[in-house]
Amino acid sequence: MEYTESDEGFLQDFDLSRLHSLQSIEVTASQTCADAPLLRDIFFTITSPVFSEIVLVFRRTELFRPYHIPFETFREMYSKRKFRLVFCLEVLKKYRNVGLNVMRRRMDLEIARKRLDFLASPPTLAIRERNFWKS
């Protein structure tokens, strides 16, 4: 199912205006690439006064995949409401160092290309070690 801006009923399912203590939203990089207009429209429903960050989660399998993160959508969102952007890598412990280096280079490249120049401060780089075999 592909999202269209005219699909109001679909968007109502993702209305975040009732969440008055919402501080952060977390989306995977692949979701963001596929559904940038939906992310933007969901973001515009946020009314929480404490909201402050968007966490963009990369999984190890996504690290080396070439795809375009829609920073123009993030720019549009930021113009309406300021937030901190976090690049979060989710990996097994054994891939931590390699993954962190790749993420740092990827983030530095985006900064050098001025795709993140709309932010008040550079994105935060975080890592989350996961054991994908445990539920």
Parse the chain into domains and list their residue ranges: 23-129
Residues 88-127 have pLDDT tens digits of 988 888 888 888 888 888 889 889 999 999 999 999 998 8
Percent helix, strand and coil across the chain, each rounded to 5?
40, 20, 40
pLDDT of residue 135: 45
Question: HSE of 24 in the Cβ direction (CA atoms, 13 Å)?
Answer: 12
2 alpha-carbon distance from chain centroid: 20
Q: What is the mean pLDDT of the chain?
A: 83
CA distance 113 to 107: 10
**Separation between Cα atoms, residue 126 and residue 113, nearest integer Å:** 21
The rounded distance, in Å, linking the Cα atoms of 126 and 27 is 14
- Does residue 53 register a pLDDT over 90? yes
Q: How confident is the model at residue 73 (pLDDT cuts 50, 70, 90)?
A: very high
Question: For 5-24, what is each residue's pLDDT tens digit?
Answer: 555 555 566 778 888 888 99
pLDDT digits (tens, 9 = 90+) for 28-50: 888 777 788 888 998 999 999 99
